[in-house]
Chains A and B, each alone.
Chain A
Amino acid sequence: MKASLAWIRQYVPDLNVGYKEFMDAMTLSGTKVEYYEQLDKNLEKIVVGQIEKIEKHPDADKLVVCQVNVGTETVQIVTGAPNIVIGESEGAKVPVVLDGGRVAGGHDGGPLPENGIKIKKGKLRGVESFGMMCSVEELGQSRDSYPLAPENGIYIFPEDTEVGADAIEVFGLHDAVYEFEITSNRVDCYSIIGIAREVAATFGLDFVPPHPAKTGNNEDISDYVSVEVADRDLCRRYMARGVKNIRIGPSPEWFQRLLAKNGHRPINNLVDITNFILDEYGQPMHAFDMDQIAGRKIIVKRAEDGDEFQTLDGKMHTLDHDVLMICDAEREIGLAGIMGGENSKVTDDVTKVLFECACFDGTNNRLASKRLGLRTDSSAKYEKGLDPNNCEEAVNRACELVELFGCGEVIGGVIDVKEELPAPKRIPFRPDWINAFLGTDIPEADMREYFRRLELEVDDETGEVIAPTFRQDLEAEADIAEEVARMYGYDNIPTTLPKGSSTMGGLPLNLRVQERLQDVAEYCGFSQSMTYSFESPKVYDKLRLPEDHPLRKAVVISNPLGEDFSIMRTLPVNGLLTSLGRNYNRRNKDVRLYELAKVYIPKALPLTELPDERVMMTLGFYGEGDFFDMKGVVEEMLVKVGMRKKMTCEPGTIPFLHPGRQADIFYEGDRIGYLGELHPETADAYEIGGRAYIAVLDTGKLMEHIDLGVTYEGLAMYPEISRDLSMLMDSKIRVGVIEEVIEKYAGPYLESYRLFDVYEGERLGEGKKSVAYNLVFRAKDRTLEDADVSVPIAKILEELEKLGIELRK
């Protein structure tokens, strides 16, 4: 919301503060200033001068030499402006920049230089010039603000302007335009009056809002037009007044200037007045050509599905039943609160105008405007949800201005079709509670003063604050406390720490486990990555998932930012693989990444309850290392979260992994994840050259097995017995089979075992391999005897032999 200090001063006449001071004070009292544009920036030493004499320049046809009275002296100025003419311009009063002064820009109205343009005395074609007469463009302004300015030349002041006066003051440019960030609860502040009320309250100054005078002839508008509101749920109030004998013309200059500073291009008195009310009261109005209203009847009702309608900007729209329309006896003539129709727009030939000043439903207006893709100044106000009590003053103010500017004859009476209007709210006022809530000690008298400034009454009999209807945001005591707090100043409220019960801070177990997993990943050289939770369904093709794969059943976003972000991931690997591919393309060597990636598994589709969100510890690398490096990392991780039992791997069938180099990971019979080499086709799809490996652990599954407790076991006191077994077997048999046998038959004294050699070679014969294990036996309470070891070893060998695995001789 824009507002210039000049406009605000219309209602806070005593306002006299610095530009920056104003910004800071308003921001701290709750009307945040985003930025401001200072209009007298780079305008220095500029006065009103009167041209006394004009002579030809001796050496230049296009230049003239002027003697200009600037109040204290008469100075010589050379100019080439086309509107300074010998025999015509003598006596004209013009803005003059004196020697050493500064203007904001050039006469072409181009972009303004940061520090403006310095004006110094000098010679123009040999004739001395002691300053410059200037145009509005050189003052950094446009002809929107100064419509009487000549199209190309020096600005001429009205004749009654005082010679020698500060020209910037005369121009009204000792001013700044502020852009306020209005929060959605303060609908009243989407108006200059609302902002001015806050200004007056912030600086403790008098607030003087307009009180529109009574207007209108002795006719009654109801004799001209009737109004029927068919859909009252979408229109709480419809007011209308009429003006006849319309005289279209320009608005007064001061009025145009206020509008222009606020970003409205002045058009004509009628349009300017509605734009003015839009900003002044925050109340949109629409002007209909009364002669175009068929049957002299306005009907406010929903459109029919499929209706076609042309707005006054010439665009066609297809309507639906939730769009509210203004209709006459025969047809639709306006999109309520959004834009009028081409068929009833006001033209220069208009003689009678109907001013509509209504209160349409904010939500309906917002949604309709969104569906139609048509957001206007008017709908931008309505969508906030306006106060129907505001309509009356606004429409009367418009009529007052019509009379003031002589742009027509206001017809007496007012049409007012309305539902029951909202009444002021009553909220308990307990000063002690407010102080307790804020942690302050503000005297009750001060609170009452704040309320007075904000136009909140206190009812002493009931002990209540009465909130006017324009303050829709005030509902309960906490709201009243905020009014006190912001007027008292947030910065003046003390700082304390909560005195209440002491509580135990900390991380929940699952997050602690995740932190440990992260630590291990990082010790093993993996860096943490983060990728989006949503992705494209095409990912499943890159990952080679069959059409009917259950993981293709994903949670789908109904309004995504395009297909690439349209489904919630069911697999954690796509983001990581994309990141690896990006690194590979950027020629980063040996990249190891991990991600704690959430997947979202729907329980049923379409979704009726929330999906299962599972955090997957996902690791991936390319470059140095192989499958067993990755497997080692997984093993380290499990140990670090207290999963000290044996993790087992079984060949897996995941489509995006190498069919011969992948495994499902089991712990106590539970599948907790998988790992493997990336399928070459998938690696190609992600543009990762060479072999890449990934591992995925379901942290939720880990939580079922973790044990962060530790029990110390005494250090070994008795010697170990170590045995090496070297075996010959079919190379297709996996060593896991041997380990199962060892674990099953090695007896109570087996302390550890370790695979230390695998060999395949011609010497062994085709399809054979030799595998060597070291077994360590030890007892806690005595030195083992040979039989303690030889008996189980014999049993192991016997069992292995049944599987075709022989001791190598």
Chain B
Amino acid sequence: MSLKEKLAQIQAEAIESMLSAADPDVLNDIRVRFLGKKGLLTEASKGMKDVPAEERPKMGQLVNDTKKAIEETLEKRKSALMAAVREKKMAAETIDVTMPGRKSAIGHRHPLTLATEEVERIFIGMGYEVIEGPEVEYDYYNFEALNIPPNHPAKDEQDTFYINPQILLRTQTSSCQVHAMERGKVPFKVVAPGRVFRSDEVDATHSPNFHQFEGMIVDKDITFSDLKGTLEQFAIELFGPDTKVKFRPHHFPFTEPSAEMDVSCFKCGGKGCRFCKGEGWIEILGCGMVHPKVLKMSGIDPDEYSGFALGVGLERIALLKYEIDDMRLLYENDIRFLKQF
């Protein structure tokens, strides 16, 4: 058999056996048998020495072509077999994807904090700076500087906890208005969330320890229409774009004119439902133009500056927003309650 015939035979045999190989190990054996150092192709190449010199280049080319053809088939067959093996392995690894996920038990923010953060976010976006004030406070900041002189009936209305005649538990975050003004930096925009206290017995809608949110702006040319615009914006941010607001005259000693703001019921859209007691409106906050006396007492010239202030009950916002029907739940800290937020 000539070398040429031999090469053709090796190639045919090699390809045939590779194509019939069933797994990568067998394939490797075949590779060794044909292409290995002592393989058939190497053996056959030894016949090159009998080839006439002028034919050697041609015959050398033929050896290389044979080798290449075998290698190509080998690679193809190898990847086919590897893929099959991987498929088989993955098929065996199939899991039940409906089994539960493994959670790291992340804790939950208190709904009052969530409500506070929401309100803060809205006002910070409008350029308001968050400030704090003491909870155990001087009578002056809680009352007198807010145009509530000694023996004013409003002091009775708010059922104040006293430490002594001069020091009390603040009944309203409005005390922070005075601290803000006293910093002497005008204009300013501040909000002050915080804890306040009034002597109310605990029930579904009252707590002697609760939270308010105060807002105040003092600048040149602040108008009542600015108050309306700002609070309308706030209501829309808090309760959604379809929210409508209504301002009703009211009285607070430290603002004039004063108002209460109602928002259209976000449950029924204002048609009237159980949630808004058929009114279509829900009372949300008190507000007003800062009383000139109040500005003056804290060293701001009311002829030059004006401002507005607002106060929101945070429990009320949380109860409304999350439809919580009993304020006591907020202070029980039952994990089944907290987990829902």
A and B part of one assembly: yes
Q: Give the interface of A toward B (CB within 8 A).
A: 27-30, 32, 183-186, 362-363, 366-367, 370, 383-385, 436-440, 473, 476-479, 481-482, 485-486, 490-491, 493-508, 511, 518, 521-534, 555-561, 565, 568, 579, 582-583, 586, 588, 590-594, 598, 600, 606-607, 610-611, 613
B241 an interface residue at 8 Å Cβ cutoff? no
* A500-B221, A529-B110, A531-B331 known; A506-B248 Cβ under 8 A: no
Would you give the 0/1 interface string for B208-245, flagging 1 where the beta carbon is closer than 8 Å to chain A? 11000000010111111110111011000000000000
Whether A522 pairs with B106 at a CB distance below 8 angstroms is: yes
> Which chain A residues border B219 with CB–CB below 8 Å?
498, 500-501
> Which chain A residues border B223 with CB–CB below 8 Å?
436-439, 496
Q: List 13 A-B contacts (CB under 8 A).
A: A366-B156, A478-B292, A493-B224, A504-B129, A508-B130, A522-B109, A527-B335, A530-B110, A534-B208, A568-B136, A583-B334, A588-B335, A592-B107
| Assembled-state Cα–Cα distance A521/B208 (Å) | 28
Q: Give the interface of B toward A (CB within 8 A).
A: 104-110, 112-113, 120, 123-132, 134-138, 151, 153-154, 156-157, 161-164, 167, 169, 187-189, 195, 197, 199, 201, 208-209, 217, 219-226, 228-230, 232-233, 246-251, 253, 256-259, 289, 291-293, 306, 330-336, 338-339
CB distance from A806 to the nearest CB of B (A): 41
> Which chain B residues border A481 with CB–CB below 8 Å?
224, 256-257, 289
> Which chain B residues border A493 with CB–CB below 8 Å?
224-225, 228, 247
> Which chain B residues border A518 with CB–CB below 8 Å?
109, 113
| Assembled-state Cα–Cα distance A806/B293 (Å) | 77
Could you say which of A184, A478, A498, A504 has the most chain B C-beta atoms within 10 Å of its C-beta? A498
- For the complex with contacts A496-B225, A500-B222, 8 further pairs of A-B residues with Cβ separation under 8 Å are A27-B248, A185-B251, A482-B249, A521-B107, A526-B107, A527-B109, A583-B334, A593-B338
Residue in contact with A528 in the complex, picked from B110, B167, B201, B230, CB distance below 8 Å: B110
| Assembled-state Cα–Cα distance A481/B230 (Å) | 20
CB distance from A33 to the nearest CB of B (A): 11
> Which chain B residues border A370 with CB–CB below 8 Å?
156
Whether B153 pairs with A366 at a CB distance below 8 angstroms is: yes
Whether B126 pairs with A505 at a CB distance below 8 angstroms is: yes
| Assembled-state Cα–Cα distance A278/B164 (Å) | 37
Whether A525 pairs with B248 at a CB distance below 8 angstroms is: no
> Which chain A residues border B199 with CB–CB below 8 Å?
559, 561
Whether B151 pairs with A533 at a CB distance below 8 angstroms is: no
| Assembled-state Cα–Cα distance A565/B209 (Å) | 10
CB distance from B278 to the nearest CB of A (A): 11
> Which chain B residues border A558 with CB–CB below 8 Å?
161-164
Whether A478 pairs with B257 at a CB distance below 8 angstroms is: yes
Whether A506 pairs with B228 at a CB distance below 8 angstroms is: no
Whether B248 pairs with A613 at a CB distance below 8 angstroms is: no
Whether A485 pairs with B130 at a CB distance below 8 angstroms is: no
Which residue of B has the minimal Cβ distance to A477? B292
The 3 closest A-B pairs by CB, nearest first: A439-B225, A439-B223, A30-B249
Which residue of A has the minimal Cβ distance to B228? A495
Residue in contact with A583 in the complex, picked from B187, B220, B221, B333, CB distance below 8 Å: B333
CB distance from B127 to the nearest CB of A (A): 4
> Which chain B residues border A439 with CB–CB below 8 Å?
223-226
| Assembled-state Cα–Cα distance A493/B126 (Å) | 22
| Assembled-state Cα–Cα distance A185/B247 (Å) | 19
* A183-B250, A482-B249, A490-B249 known; A499-B120 Cβ under 8 A: no
Whether A525 pairs with B105 at a CB distance below 8 angstroms is: yes
CB distance from A689 to the nearest CB of B (A): 16
Whether B332 pairs with A579 at a CB distance below 8 angstroms is: yes
Which residue of A has the minimal Cβ distance to B186? A501
Which residue of B has the minimal Cβ distance to A361? B151
Whether B256 pairs with A478 at a CB distance below 8 angstroms is: yes
Whether A498 pairs with B163 at a CB distance below 8 angstroms is: no
CB distance from B162 to the nearest CB of A (A): 5
Whether A583 pairs with B335 at a CB distance below 8 angstroms is: yes
Whether A522 pairs with B107 at a CB distance below 8 angstroms is: yes
Whether A482 pairs with B197 at a CB distance below 8 angstroms is: no
| Assembled-state Cα–Cα distance A556/B163 (Å) | 6
> Which chain B residues border A532 with CB–CB below 8 Å?
208-209, 331
> Which chain A residues border B339 with CB–CB below 8 Å?
527
| Assembled-state Cα–Cα distance A656/B181 (Å) | 43
Whether A507 pairs with B130 at a CB distance below 8 angstroms is: yes
Whether B187 pairs with A501 at a CB distance below 8 angstroms is: yes
Could you say which of B134, B224, B228, B336 has the most chain A C-beta atoms within 10 Å of its C-beta? B224
